[in-house]
Amino acid sequence: FAQGPLYARLRRMRAALPLSKITDDEFDQMVTRGLPFVLGRVELRDGFLHRKNAQYIPHGVSKMRLFRNLDRAIAGAAPTLETSVEISVRFGGGFTPLPDIVVWKRTRERGAIPGANVLLIAEIADTTQADDLGAKRDAYARAGLAEYWAVDLPARTLHRFAVPQDGTYQQAAVFTEGSTVDSLTIPGVSVVFEIPDQFAA
């Protein structure tokens, strides 16, 4: 059936149908009912569901290395903040991403982290550099995220963006392995940018 003419016709019909955007509240309801998980890990971007890639070893190990370093720095300089891995953030306007790392002000809410509570987000890119350094970066800027870090694993660099204004970041810097990266949003927070030895050239 999957290779037959009926299947091909259904695919053409589906492609011809207009796509309906999902509101933030509708996405919350879907998550509560477990519907997105039929598709796997998803996030809401511009009102549409986007699948997240599977996480392979380089991405997962590098993410946890940065998380541990950032978590230690936050605990020392800003202990009232929380550092978390993969919790959805609701910015509104059809944008509820599922970031790799989030630094945020604690809340008693049980849903996604409110975007207003988020100070810094980091994404790890092993194969998604074009998105994390392009459309997704711009979406974070439009949402008003104060500071955004994007790690380009193949290039072994960390890109730091800050000061969102008019939908773009006004400040950008690139760091190489071994560099100290200071947060421009959270005073006293700095980490040494490391990539695990097994992934270094």
Q: Per-residue pLDDT tens for 114-143?
A: 999 999 999 999 999 999 999 999 999 999
pLDDT tens, residue by residue, 48-104: 888 888 888 989 999 999 999 999 999 999 999 999 999 999 999 999 999 999 999
Give 50 or 148, the one with higher predicted confidence: 148
Give 16 or 96, the one with higher predicted confidence: 96
Instruction: Convert 63-97 to b/e letters by CB count within 10 Å (16 or more is b).
Output: bbbbbebbbebbeeebeebbbeeeebbbbeebbbb
Give residues with Cβ within 8 angstroms of 155, minimum separation 6: 129
Does the structure show a pLDDT above 80 at 9? no
Spatial separation of the C-alpha atoms in residues 46 and 21, rounded to whole Å: 8
Looking at residue 35, what DSSP letter applies? -
| Mean pLDDT (whole number) for 134-160 | 97
Are 124 and 66 in contact by the 8 Å Cβ rule? The answer is: yes
Residue 32: its pLDDT value, please?
81
152 is written with which tokens?
């380009």
Go through the chain and tell me how many residues it has.
201
Residue 52: its pLDDT value, please?
85
| Mean pLDDT (whole number) for 167-185 | 97
Instruction: Report the C-alpha dihedral over residues 132, 138, 139, 143, rounded to 10 degrees.
Output: 130
The pLDDT > 90 percentage for the chain reads: 69
Looking at residue 189, what DSSP letter applies? -
Element of type H or E holding 10: helix 5-16
Residue 1: its pLDDT value, please?
41
What type of residue is 114?
Answer: P
Distance of CA 69 to the CA centre of its chain: 18
Residue 88: its pLDDT value, please?
95
| Mean pLDDT (whole number) for 12-24 | 67
Looking at residue 5, what DSSP letter applies? H
The pLDDT > 70 percentage for the chain reads: 86
Are 44 and 32 in contact by the 8 Å Cβ rule? The answer is: no
Does the structure show a pLDDT above 90 at 41? no
What type of residue is 106?
Answer: R
Does the structure show a pLDDT above 70 at 3? no
Element of type H or E holding 71: helix 57-77
Confidence of residue 2 (pLDDT cuts 50, 70, 90): very low
